[in-house]
């Protein structure tokens, strides 16, 4: 099931999403505005969701920061991916668990965070 998240509830829904999916392994994909193979690339595979945050910044508009980290015991590697000028959030749920989160920016690029495990850790 796909659920469009309304802008007025982005902050609260993202906070709940982050709690539900804390430390789940992810795959982060970015699709360009034309949605062709040439504009589809993976940023990472297997890092754990450490946090997700909504920020309203005057210059970049509404931004979402996705914080990821390597699994223990290494845990030293981490990355933050920021999506600026957020226009749309859509959650995909399968069997009662979050399967992916789509974030569309103002230029039509879509960042998709897929989860590699069915259930939260």
* 33 or 113, higher pLDDT: 113
pLDDT by residue (tens digit) across 70-93? 988 776 789 999 999 999 999 999
**For residue 8, is pLDDT > 90?**
yes
Q: Is there a contact between 42 and 34 (Cβ–Cβ < 8 Å)?
A: no
**For residue 114, is pLDDT > 90?**
yes
Domain ranges of the chain: 2-115
**Among 73, 83, 91, CA closest to 108:** 83
């Amino acid at each position: 099931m796909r659920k469009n998240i309304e802008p007025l509830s982005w902050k609260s829904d993202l906070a709940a999403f982050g709690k539900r999916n804390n430390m789940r392994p992810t795959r982060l994909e970015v699709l360009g505005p034309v949605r062709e193979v040439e504009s589809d690339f993976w940023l990472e595979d297997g890092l754990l969701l450490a946090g997700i945050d909504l920020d309203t910044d005057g210059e970049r508009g509404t931004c979402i920061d996705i914080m990821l980290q390597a699994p223990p015991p290494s845990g030293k590697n981490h990355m933050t991916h920021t999506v600026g000028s957020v226009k749309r959030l859509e959650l995909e749920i399968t069997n009662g668990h979050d399967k992916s989160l789509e974030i569309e920016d103002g230029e039509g690029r879509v960042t998709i965070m897929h989860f590699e495990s069915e259930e939260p850790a």
